[in-house]
Amino acid sequence: MQLSAEKQKQADLLYLILGGIFIASLVSCNLIFQKFFVWDAFGVYTFEISVGILPYPITFLVTDLISEIWGAKRANRVVLAGLVSSIFVLGVVTIADMVPATNWSPVSDSEFTKVFGLTTVSVGASMMAYLAAQFIDIRLFHFWKRLTNGKHLWIRNNFSTMTSQLVDTAVVVGLLCWAGAIDWDRFGALVFAGWLFKAIVAALDTPVLYLATWIIRSFLGLKGAEEVEF
């Protein structure tokens, strides 16, 4: 749908904000991934997962929202922007790790390396998994959107995200195991726990996606399954 000049500016601003949230979530995943925690999910299942997984589902929620309102091309642009941003942050962290600390620095070289030393491995693994998973998510999202004639948002949100998250989790854990960051005997448990956590979050964020989609569509004056033209 072609918007008025004023509404187009507002749509572009919203797109920029969502892109910023996407990039911030993606970059933070790669910086904090080395800390693991235990979560007893209502006494049913005990998760042992990285804290890096906490902001990651937000990236899929954002790309689904952008896909729904702005279309696949705009969603793909955000994915590309996330890749470039992650590579840039990787360069910054690498240089920061190489620069020697002063004798009065609150953080020593060894402490900095312990926290950020595996960032290269993390980003490398994450980017391979990220590209595969995000493009799969966007394509599956629009496949289900076409198949259902723009109806049943919950189907394309959950089916696309849960499938792509399995790919993402298996690839990133496999590459981290291959690089020696994680023992191979933890591969199966970490993949299952990581995917299950993401699947649960995908199901729980469906009402959020519905609400955000309704608010933005109402604000921009979009009807049905209309998308913002650009």
CA dist 104 to 16, 72, 92, 94, 117, Å? 40, 50, 22, 21, 21
Residue 229 lies in a domain: no
Asked whether residue 189 is domain-assigned, the answer is yes
pLDDT digits (tens, 9 = 90+) for 171-227: 878 877 777 767 888 888 888 887 888 788 878 888 898 899 999 998 888 887 777
42 exposure class (CB count in 10 Å sphere: 0-12, 13-18, 19+): exposed
- The span from the CA of 143 to the CA of 159, in Å, is 10
Q: DSSP secondary-structure letter at 100?
A: P
Contact between 116 and 96 (Cβ < 8 Å): yes
Mean pLDDT, the chain, integer: 82
Is 87 among the domain residues?
yes
98 in any annotated domain: yes
Q: Can you give the residue range of the structural domain that contains 41?
A: 5-220
Q: Residue 178 to residues 15, 80, 116, 121, 129: CA-CA distances in angstroms?
A: 37, 26, 19, 10, 14
Any bridge partners for residue 39, and if so which?
A: 47
Token pair belonging to 164:
């792509």
CA distances from 93 to 10, 87, 128, 134 (A): 35, 10, 19, 24
CATH of the domain at 126: 1.10.1760
Contacts of 24 (CB under 8 A, 6+ apart): 55
Angle, vertex CA 77, rays to CA 1 and CA 53, nearest 5: 115
Number of structural domains, the chain? 1
Convert the pLDDT of each residue in 63-101 to its tens digit: 889 988 998 889 889 988 988 888 888 888 889 988 999
Q: Is residue 120 domain-resident?
A: yes
Between 4-18, 91-105, 121-135, the lowest mean confidence (pLDDT) is in 121-135
Q: Return the pLDDT at 126.
A: 67
In a domain, 226, yes or no: no
Q: Which residue has the higher pLDDT, 211 or 126?
A: 211
- Residue 181 belongs to some domain of the structure: yes
DSSP 12-44: HHHHHHHHHHHHHHHHHHHHHTT-EEEEEETTT
Q: Does residue 111 fall inside a structural domain?
A: yes
